[in-house]
A and B are shown apart, each in its own frame.
Chain A
Amino acid sequence: MQKYSDYELEQKSVRYRIALLKYIKRANAGHTGGDLSCTDILNVLYNEVLNVSPGNFSDPNRDRYIQSKGHSVEALYVVLADKGFFPERDLETMCRYKSPYVGHPTRKVRGIEFNTGALGHGLSISTGIALAGKKDQLPYRVFTLLGDGELAEGSNWEAAMLAAHYKLDNLVAILDHNTLQITGRNSEVCNPYPIEEKWKAFGWNVVHTDGHNFAELRKVLNETPTVPGKPNFVIAHTVKGKGVSFMEDIKKWHHRVPADEEFEQAINELKVQLNENY
């Protein structure tokens, strides 16, 4: 069931982007480009798809979200704060001495299921959770978010083979496909293409979506499983640095913290899109 209009989600994303930039600037650390590329995906997941809330976080029937690309944690933190898992002002301590809000997800932060950050872990973990759901005949679904550079990690392909073997159609892996990694274009670092054919060959149902189109994301993520017995691979076409003109599709913004003037310009660009009525 649709909870928010596309416009309401768009407004949420603007606020998330402003917040995550603010906390990255304050912490003087963060993975700016990847945060901005997956913000809309996380927005749709937590506001339209996952049956996860602070009230049901220990319910065995809750959906699970495992962020395999753990470095985009700032986007996850602001979305979790918006969902009421913790007060957003807690993020003022991000990356500070003794803060639980470190630069990759940890279970010390309410709302986080697994400590991730080393790449190539989320899909195996999610496969285990999805397998338990099948064994216990529980209705939950398991979502994991992978980076496209992360596809070079061999453990992903071990999990891909197993998830198809066990017909885990309750598993949804979303690829944040912004085509950039820290060194440059995926195709120049270690060519991951053809991505669709690889996952199909491993026995997965593969769909494409615009990773910044709320209607498409809502439809695709809510519709799974679309093919009984097949795990789902959603290639979300995104733009690294999305929402800030001078950051979009530029590799240096992988983990660059904006300088003062850059920060001001970025916030101003985003604030122009804000409608105070939402």
Chain B
Amino acid sequence: MRVDGLSFAYPGAAWALCDVSLEIREGEVVALLGPSGSGKSTLVRALAGLVPHFHGGRFAGCVEVAGLDTRRTRPADLAGTVATVFQDPEDQVVMALVTNEVAFGLENVGVPATEIVLRVEAALGRVGAGHLAAKRTTTLSGGELQRVCLASALALEPRLLLLDEPTSQLDPHGAEEFLAAVAELGCAAVLSEHRIDRALSLADRVLYVEEGRVLLDAPVDEAQSWLVTNRPRYAASPSDVDDALCYRNTESGSVRPVVKLERVSFAYGSTSVLEDVSLEVRGGEIVVLEGPNGSGKTTLAKLAAGLLEPDVGRIERFGRAAYLSQDPGRYLVKERVLDEVAFGVGGNVGRARGALDQFGLGWAAERHPRDLSSGERERLGLAATAVCEPDLLVLDEPTRGVDPDRKTAIGDWLLARAAAGTAVVVATHDRTLPAHRRMRLGGEVPVAA
């Protein structure tokens, strides 16, 4: 695979990629790092031929995959040679049954009917999802669905596998398993990923992209030295980050409770999610809710924010609560960024502008929210929640798909909110966020000694 002098701009936008040149050899795993909006996803799409064919725009230079020039070969014709797994599995699943989903690509590229069944079984087996074959895709968890997407890509037996932040929806265990499955593949792969430690452990080579330019293209060892010197947040190991960002103030938080959950139980229909859970959060305190997918973190967060009522138990809130859902970029209501933020404060444009400036989005006030990149939308969601200045701030996975720089900024912002007396509850898998207490569902663990 060869990229030569590639530059690309989406219609009516500035250059997303500038003069990118690189080569990927057979069987090589390349980690693609860089901040949100740096052009990583665009580069992945260019390698799949989706840029320029699907998106349009200005395209210069050349991308060749297995000898095929992507300017003259449509993405559908590259399928099989190239396979792509995108960030959100829900946006790429076509069929209702897992077996049919994995078979979909094979049918499209014309694999003989008798071979399809065998390749579907083999691909599901390779990602440890053989037991899901007869299930409906709508009944799978995010982690299971992402494995099915990987199986769909592997079934094609591609020469180049493109993975665009494939673990952003997964809990740490799910992400480990997913990347372990990728490590077993043997084909060339490009892995765009914000979980840097995992990406580096898997890769042979690292590409670091910023503002559409490749700043680094080097083997892992050499890349790590460069990152330590030039982009230290991209080089830190998770344990280092934990130590650096844990908020070690045992005296933090006032005695004033902002929310008290007493022996709370909750079930969705007949499925029990939480049983006999108690939690008290005081003003100025950050409590992180931890646990694997399906452990009830989101449900507990919604109960704390007052979006759900418990089946059993009692909840008392002393003050106003605000809640930021997972994937807030999907749930935008207004047609102007400024109105989106002002929506929660009765249209107060002055406060909305202040919140936008705080999250570095002042420049986008007049734009349509859906014109923003995914990272910018996440920040817009935070601004729209922060502007309410609640007594209790509840955030559900606020750092999902967020780059290390932005994560640090969010951590600092949480600390500032806590220092101002706000009680903060964060449901997250991310151990780099600051916390006074971490509550693993089933047992509370104080972080500060």
Determine if chain A interacts with chain B. Answer: no
